[in-house]
Amino acid sequence: MDDWLRACGRDELADGEFAIVELDDTLIAVYRVGEAFFAIEDVCTHDGGELAGGRLCGYELECPRHASRFDLRSGKVLGPPALTDTRVFPVRLSDDAVYVRDDRWDD
């Protein structure tokens, strides 16, 4: 199953910037860090608030509401008050675009 969704053009995001896309009723924040792109669910597992727009330091994204921190590469929680990891999504670069998809249902 090849259900990739175009998130943005490669050149649309500068280092540290993000774009929000919706995939199957899930908001995903696509971040550029250097030349790499990462896709993380735009939900803090602490209280359900948005993660996008929080302070980004390297691969560490801080929730703008209560300062929980998450690793963009893995979704792992790095600092409280969140205790549960958030989801990440596969990213594919093709032509001049960035694509994401939800592999949750793939075998």
Torsion of CA 16, 102, 24, 95, to 10 degrees: 60
pTM: 0.91
CATH architecture of 5-100: 3-layer Sandwich (2.102)
Contact 60, 78 (CB under 8 A): yes
Digit-coded pLDDT (tens) for 33-66: 999 999 999 999 999 999 999 999 999 999 999 9
Phi first, then psi: give them for residue 31, nearest 5 degrees.
-110, 145
